[in-house]
Amino acid sequence: MKFYYYFIVIFCLLSCDFIDDKLSIQNNTTYKFMVNVKYFKNKEDNLGEFCSLIEVNEEEKKVIGLLNRHWENLTKNSTNESFIKVILISKKSIDSLNQVYYSKNISLNRYDLLDSLYNKKEYDYKEYSLKELEHRKWQITYPDEGFKNANQ
């Protein structure tokens, strides 16, 4: 009986796929923001592949994890044109837009609010090649690395 118990425990541990915590972001600002990370195979790829959506507090370093996937698996068929786009939306923008909808008795989830802000181009972004991320040791620092505003 003990054999079966140990077998099940070992099998469960080996079959689990943990979060890939290679990529992280350092927030050097005094405000919170949401980070949306997408992987694009090339410049013609308009949609990209969703990787992660997290909230980062002021003056905080946070891991941008991939749940049940690894960056190596995601990017194994990448080319020199492949890149990762990091999109930052301030929590203040999300809250103020949410207040506008709330005053009209419209309730939106977080993803709808973010889509609305994407359409209004109220976000900052930066595109990183995979080589650039490897050179940076998968560490991103905001606002120090030349993020662009979508309206510009």
Tell me what pLDDT residue 93 has. Answer: 85
Q: Which helix (H) or strand (E) covers residue 71, if one does?
A: helix 71-74
- Residues 93-141 have pLDDT tens digits of 888 887 887 788 877 777 777 788 888 888 999 999 888 988 999 999 9
What is the reported pLDDT for 86?
Answer: 93
> Is 3's pLDDT higher than 70?
no
What sign results for the dihedral spanned by CA atoms 85, 91, 96, 99?
A: positive
Q: 54: which strand partners?
A: 35
Output phi, psi for 105, to 5 deg.
60, 35
pTM over 0.95: no
pLDDT at residue 110, rounded to an integer: 73
Residue 90 has pLDDT above 60, yes or no: yes
